[in-house]
Structure 1
């Protein structure tokens, strides 16, 4: 990375660096880098092993963001003031349920997800995912992340819906539906096959994008994974607030959308948006059921009149 990022003078400074602090001071001498880019470059230079550096970065990012986002929901579950916002307010997860879920998720993270994470960097180099500085523009980052959200949502809808059929549900997806009233930590409580299948939508879509476009940066993937984790955890939170995002952006799914899925076990298969379930008439809940019945009745009456 150093030979592609820094000028000769900077490389000489870096070769004399020992600690991370010294490395960072040397990187600061390179003009045109903002604070985050300086930290990013310093990290990779200091680690000296790109494969290990990317693996450690993404594993720690995943753990920190997932459990960091889950913790506030655990605190909210234990705070009586917020119970009025609980969607299924008669079903509060116990400490035992939270603990059992935590153990299962940790096992999945270390035994299922860790391996592909630690070998992600060779894939990046193979298909041209950049980890150099400076980063892409924020316009590019926002455009790509928005596209990933749309594509992942489509992937999630169809494969999640498929997991509700027959043996796929019985032997794979049923584990995730152990909690009819979901909570934040349960977002990644799932069978290893489901983790890999639905997880491909998060990791595989950026890979495929870069394979065809040769235009993607690791920092963009970090932003995307962070936002996707936040979305998944929040969707499983079990809480509906007046300031929930879908009140301002109606296409957004949110916790009320996914809570209905866990409550009724069918319908609302999409992850981030509502349009697939609306278009394909797979919305869950009493209101959606009444709407479908009304449509069926109207269709039948129209057929009789003919």
Structure 2
């Protein structure tokens, strides 16, 4: 692979000059690969460049996904698809949530974001071009989704116990009817612990395999943010993903958790709650009681 930062060449003072130079010496690269290589070569410091890139990516993807839900919340046309239609979040509540989320992003999440690359660089993560194949990227992201979901289920379930709920997780349950912006509205300790599932799984992966690219991590972060925001959107549409992929959790699954304050602990998939009988909501309760009655009848 062609290293992004190695090579005995002098780049120009501007990004455009750097891009022109990279394009000249590596014409075989795709346009996006040239942009990628030029960014890191122009920046000149991989740690800062990666930290800035991932932080800006995180902010733009998170709020870029929240804004459409905020617009939908303000349009009565969509209320027929709102899961808890009677509970409407005011602009004042949304603004208070926004302030808390921004503080969390800059004072809590920025630290591991800027510390991520030095750890992964030591373990063998790549910044190089050309990029890995799409098959490799997709397979690794699937592993990350499954791993994060397991971490999220057990940690989330633990945060509902006693003092952990009272002093940490209760903040996230301030809104019984969730909305997109509230996806990362949580106590700093919870933000840090749940964040381990997002960044810790890739770190563990590169430690074991020595095969991971920052691009893969970037795509994973975008998809994980989209999943988290959508799960808190509070809307159930006929085209919601779980109708086509039954194992997917989504807003309908997570809204029941916020409504009943218990059960449905997983983030992305339904299997942990199904297998361990921690599904939430009236239907799940009815199914549970029916199974118990059948079991008692069988043992009678």
Cα distance in 2 for partners of 1:111, 1:6 equals 30
Deviations 1:193-218 (A, max 9, x none): 11111110000000001001100000
Deviations 1:174-227 (A, max 9, x none): 000000000000000001111111110000000001001100000000000000
The one of 129, 151, 154 equivalent to 2:150 is: 154
**How many residues are treated as equivalent by the alignment?**
299
Matches within 5 A, 1:58-73: 58-73=54-69
The one of 11, 15, 22 equivalent to 2:17 is: 22
1:236 aligns with 2:232: yes
Cα distance in 2 for partners of 1:226, 1:293 equals 39
The one of 26, 34, 42 equivalent to 2:38 is: 42
Cα distance in 2 for partners of 1:219, 1:19 equals 23
Residue matched to 1:269: 265
Cα distance in 1 for partners of 2:116, 2:197 equals 15
- Structure 1 segments (4+ residues) deviating >6 Å: none
Deviations 1:3-52 (A, max 9, x none): x34896xx43xx14111011111111213211111111110011011111
1:140 aligns with 2:136: yes
Cα distance in 2 for partners of 1:5, 1:25 equals 14
The one of 83, 91, 104 equivalent to 2:87 is: 91
C-alpha RMSD of matched pairs (Å): 1.4
Cα distance in 2 for partners of 1:26, 1:124 equals 28
The one of 108, 113, 120 equivalent to 1:124 is: 120
Cα distance in 2 for partners of 1:294, 1:101 equals 40
TM-score, normalising length: structure 1: 0.95
Residue matched to 1:183: 179
Deviations 1:96-154 (A, max 9, x none): 11000000000001111111212222112111011111110000000000110011111
Q: Name stretches of at least 5 consecutive residues in structure 1 with no aligned partner.
A: none
Cα distance in 2 for partners of 1:181, 1:16 equals 52
Cα distance, 1:16–1:48 mapped onto 2, change above 3 Å: closer
Deviations 1:222-265 (A, max 9, x none): 00000000000000000011111111111110100000000000
Structure 2 contact 11–42 (Cα < 8 Å) conserved: no
Cα distance in 1 for partners of 2:219, 2:68 equals 20
Cα distance in 2 for partners of 1:6, 1:176 equals 42
Residue matched to 2:160: 164
Cα distance, 1:136–1:198 mapped onto 2, change above 3 Å: same
